[in-house]
Structure 1
Amino acid sequence: MTRLPASAIVPILLLAGCVAPAPERPPAAPPVATPAAMPRPSPPPPALATPASFLLEGVARQGGLLLGIAPPGTVRMMLDGAPVRLAADRRFVIAFDRDAAVRSVLSATLADGTTLTLPIGVAPRAWRIERLDRLAKVPVPSAAFAARRPAELARIVAARAIDGGSEGWRQRFVWPARGRISGVFGSQRIYRGEPGSYHGGVDVAAPTGTPVVAPADGVVVLAAATPFTLEGRLLIVDHGHGLNSAFLHLSRIDVAEGQRVDRGDTIGAIGATGRATGPHLHWGLTWRGARIDPAAVAGVKGP
């Protein structure tokens, strides 16, 4: 039975006192209470994850990589709205591009429909920027380059889409070659206010023939024995879950496509093939298209 507020009851009582009493009537049957319709509860908002919900290892920063364990019962994970692959033991890997926004959101959907969300602050980095008071020299592509390049890019895209089932993403990475660091990740030149493309990997300078080893377990998804126009002899190794390494300018390749390699296996040798000014290894690391700093994964001390 609905109760009226006291402010509504008082005027009704005052009015009743001013009216003559009515003749008595037989008592009416007591009213039957009708239960009020209960409003449908709105779905609960996503719960904010606590440290006990997600376990993360690594530093969340631009060009960085994190390993993690999802909350128990997780059936689906997303990073900024894109799906994240989960292993059977709920482990996963995520990474942040060189130009990643300073905030990301990791979410896990549990079997009961509950959604846990974890805001992640992505630390910005100060990149090595060189400002030049001149225009960039843009080489005019030759007809031969224009004819070959589309097929080369298509092979690279197709190779990076292959999931060879490797578990190398779980491992601690090692440097693939010994030598001097001649180029750092993220460095960039700006020509009269116009930014040029940034350096998407780490360069290790060493004599031609210096061995190159696999930084982690993986599957060879591209082995370009015929040098590409820019990358030269190019080797791409899939480490699983969207993480892969690219090795550029090799003088030789010692493995074949589809071959499984273990961390530390020799896979090729440093060279100067493709567009290179001298013998060195360019090591690039990507996760689902995001470029990652190899030094942040293998250790800043270098090879």
Structure 2
Amino acid sequence: MTKTLKSLFAGVAMAGLSLQATAACVDLQGQLQQGGLVWGRAAPAAAVSLDGQALDVLADGTFIAGFGRDAARTAELVVGDCRQQLTVASRDYNIQRVEGVPQQTVTPPPEVLERIARERQLVAAAKARHLPRPDLLGAALAGFHWPVEGRISGVYGSQRVYNGTPGNPHYGVDVAVPTGTIVRAPAAGVVTLAEPDLFYSGGTIILDHGYRLSSSFLHLSKVRVAVGDEVQTGDIIGEVGATGRATGPHLDWRMAWRNERIDPQFLVPPMPQPAAAAGS
């Protein structure tokens, strides 16, 4: 087994990942459920697809795939001439209904819609980059680290319904810490977006971990990297803030594989307890 492949699977037990799948064409690692990321190894040069979508296959046969918040309960993985039916576990999400919210806070005014559209194009372009870096992907899948440590104040998949109108689901994990708290790269990657002031997300960084697996860091008070920078796990990339549409200082950490939003908490160990709580 190659060094790269060993690193891909070495962090599975540490990250506490689980899997529900029928063994057939290949063995999979990761979380086979809504919001999960899975990876496996096929024969080198084998064609691999998920529900008809061709997957990137590394030189050693390694491939990854992700499942969004509302992914279907079943999926078909094809490896060469072998077909494998996957069962994707569903999840329950926290849905809150809020009434009496001023409508201007629910619907942005017309004068900012053009700005929002332009910024969405910037983000989409950053995530669409294809970075064929097996070294970065191998390091990432060996184990992610929390970019900041603190109280988890928001979780993946939750959603609010304002005045009867559903808001966008929350696609990340929020960690409430003071403004100025250092944000570190959770895994190695290349910076593809570094913007100090986007309408919704404020100071925003996107870090590409290779093969369109990326992390996004929102509401930053300071962006301390530039597009094209290559960072290693633990490198400083920014500082926590409350910029954009945020009600208080926190880091909103999101992850995506291609166009699927995945849950960062599946790829990290449990959040460490504060020292005082741990010793009480």
TM-score (norm 1): 0.76
Map of 1:116 onto structure 2: 82
| Structure 2 Cα separation of the partners of residues 52 and 274 of structure 1 | 46
Map of 1:182 onto structure 2: 153
Gaps of 5+ in 1: 1-48, 110-114
Map of 1:62 onto structure 2: 34
| Structure 2 Cα separation of the partners of residues 55 and 244 of structure 1 | 24
Map of 1:298 onto structure 2: 268
| Structure 1 Cα separation of the partners of residues 85 and 168 of structure 2 | 30
Map of 2:8 onto structure 1: none
Secondary structure, counterpart of 2:124 in structure 1: helix
Alignment of 1:32-47 (within 5 A): none
Contact 1:175 1:302 in 2 (8 A): no
Contact 2:22 2:85 in 1 (8 A): no
Alignment of 1:221-236 (within 5 A): 221-225=192-196, 227-236=197-206
Contact 1:209 1:270 in 2 (8 A): yes
Contact 1:295 1:302 in 2 (8 A): no
Pairing 1:266–2:232 present: no
Secondary structure, counterpart of 1:153 in structure 2: helix
Q: Name the structure, 1 or 2, with higher relative contact order (CA <8 Å, separation 6+).
A: 2
Contact 1:133 1:192 in 2 (8 A): yes
Gaps of 5+ in 2: 1-20, 274-280
Shift of 1:299: 3.1
Change (3 A) 1:78 1:268: same
Map of 2:63 onto structure 1: 92
Computing the radius of gyration from Cα coordinates, the structure with the larger value is 1
Map of 2:91 onto structure 1: 125
| Structure 2 Cα separation of the partners of residues 222 and 77 of structure 1 | 30
Secondary structure, counterpart of 2:68 in structure 1: coil
| Structure 2 Cα separation of the partners of residues 57 and 79 of structure 1 | 15
Change (3 A) 1:73 1:277: closer
Pairing 1:257–2:227 present: yes
Secondary structure, counterpart of 1:158 in structure 2: helix
Pairing 1:155–2:122 present: yes
Report how many residues are paired. Answer: 248
Pairing 1:210–2:181 present: yes
Contact 2:25 2:83 in 1 (8 A): no
Pairing 1:288–2:255 present: no
- Give the root-mean-square deviation of aligned CA atoms: 2.2
TM-score (norm 2): 0.82
Alignment of 1:16-27 (within 5 A): none
Change (3 A) 1:88 1:66: same
| Structure 2 Cα separation of the partners of residues 73 and 159 of structure 1 | 29
Contact 1:135 1:192 in 2 (8 A): yes
Contact 2:44 2:60 in 1 (8 A): no
Shift of 1:54: 0.6
| Structure 1 Cα separation of the partners of residues 254 and 55 of structure 2 | 21
| Structure 2 Cα separation of the partners of residues 183 and 50 of structure 1 | 32
Contact 1:74 1:108 in 2 (8 A): no
Secondary structure, counterpart of 1:157 in structure 2: helix
Map of 1:13 onto structure 2: none
